[in-house]
């Protein structure tokens, strides 16, 4: 896809997303999000993890912007879920682990079985930091469990299980609006695919989003996650129609939709 077409399509996606508004999570949990951001920005360990990620191989659609958002939202979920515990140093320590897991969760995104491979690499990276063995294991297990539609290994420690579930949910929040305003265009740019080819993947991709709707794991994720997905679906469906009109043509777009629906139903 040429640069002009890519830029125009991305701008269109942003306009469509803006018209639908942002997910309620960002309005209703602003205080906790701000607290998570503040803790992350003031953490030397997290800054080092960001430097490590930045120096790694470019990860199509899952680079630093994606990782930062996942880290902030994972920390936010930990803060929300931890309200009943009274907060304190233990909760802040858990938020630190959330931020580390969020930054490093896709460190091996470009390879097969990226969650397991990423957990192994993260485990090695974390030996550089002043963390306990249990904390390193918790971060690695969370990364190992973050992939959609894959078996999730139950964890014995409640804190480790919460970290694992929070990372999964924050990562799947990105399958809402971000999927169509950021990640899609990063992937299209990196792989240099045509608009027609890109649109041919839309129907099956939207079906995958629908399947994600009921997979959220924390109480906070179950409260807000379906809203992220529903908003993403509305943006994606509108974008699919508008891009089809501009770049492909309604007849071809209809044929692609019919073929994809037949495949999904079979």
Query: In this predicted model, what pLDDT tens digit does every residue of 93-146 receive, in sequence order?
Result: 999 999 999 999 999 887 888 999 999 999 999 999 999 999 999 999 999 999
- Say yes or no: 213 and 255 in one domain: yes
Residue 83 or residue 13, greater confidence: 13
Domain limit, last residue, from 173, 208, 237? 173
pLDDT at 32 over 70: yes
- The pair of three-digit structure tokens given for residue 26, joined into one six-digit string: 């960002």
Query: Predicted confidence band at 231 (pLDDT cuts at 50, 70, 90)?
Result: very high
Determine what percent of the chain is predicted with pLDDT higher than 70: 89
Residue at token pair 């997303």 = 17
Question: Is 45 among the domain residues?
Answer: yes
**DSSP letter assigned to residue 127:** G
Handedness of CA 46, 50, 52, 58 (dihedral sign): positive
Distance separating alpha carbons of residues 32 and 79, to the nearest angstrom = 7
For 181-210, what is the mean pLDDT?
90
CB 191 within 8 A of CB 218: no
Sequence-distant (6+) residues with CB within 8 A of 185 are 6, 9, 10, 13
Residue 87 or residue 148, greater confidence: 148
What is the chain's length?
Answer: 266
For 181-194, what is the mean pLDDT?
87
- Say yes or no: 122 and 208 in one domain: no
- Say yes or no: 71 and 121 in one domain: yes
Sequence-distant (6+) residues with CB within 8 A of 12 are 239, 242, 243
- Say yes or no: 167 and 203 in one domain: no
pLDDT value, residue 204 = 94
- Say yes or no: 91 and 221 in one domain: no
Domain ranges, residue 86: 24-173
CB 81 within 8 A of CB 219: yes
Distance separating alpha carbons of residues 112 and 125, to the nearest angstrom = 20
HSE-CB at 218 with a 13 A cutoff on CA atoms is 31
CB 97 within 8 A of CB 139: yes
Query: In this predicted model, what pLDDT tens digit does every residue of 84-95 receive, in sequence order?
Result: 555 556 999 999
Question: Is 184 among the domain residues?
Answer: no
- Say yes or no: 145 and 225 in one domain: no
Cβ neighbours around 19 below 10 Å, total: 10
Q: In the chain, how many domains are there?
A: 2
CB 63 within 8 A of CB 189: no
């Amino acid at each position: 896809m040429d640069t002009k077409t890519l830029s125009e399509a991305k701008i269109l996606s942003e306009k469509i997303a803006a018209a639908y508004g942002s997910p309620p999570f960002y309005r209703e949990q602003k205080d906790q999000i701000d607290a998570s951001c503040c803790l992350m920005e003031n953490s030397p360990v997290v800054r080092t993890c960001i430097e490590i990620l930045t120096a790694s191989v470019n990860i199509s659609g899952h680079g630093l912007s994606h990782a930062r958002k996942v880290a902030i939202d994972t920390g936010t979920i930990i803060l929300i879920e931890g309200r009943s515990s009274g907060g304190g140093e233990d909760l802040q320590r858990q938020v630190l682990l959330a931020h580390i897991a969020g930054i490093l969760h896709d460190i091996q995104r470009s390879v097969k079985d990226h969650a397991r491979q990423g957990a192994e690499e993260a485990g090695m990276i974390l030996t550089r930091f002043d963390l306990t063995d249990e904390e390193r294991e918790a971060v690695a297990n969370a990364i190992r469990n973050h992939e959609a539609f894959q078996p999730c290994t139950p964890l014995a420690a409640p804190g480790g299980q919460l970290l694992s579930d929070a990372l999964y949910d924050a990562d799947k929040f990105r399958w809402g609006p971000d999927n169509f305003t950021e990640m899609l265009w990063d992937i299209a740019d990196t792989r240099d695919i045509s608009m027609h080819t890109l649109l041919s993947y839309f129907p099956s991709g939207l079906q995958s989003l629908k399947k994600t709707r009921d997979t959220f794991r924390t109480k906070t994720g179950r409260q807000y996650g379906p809203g992220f997905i529903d908003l993403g679906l509305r943006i994606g469906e509108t974008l699919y129609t508008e891009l089809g009109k501009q770049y492909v043509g309604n007849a071809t777009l209809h044929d692609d939709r019919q073929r994809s629906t037949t495949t999904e139903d079979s």
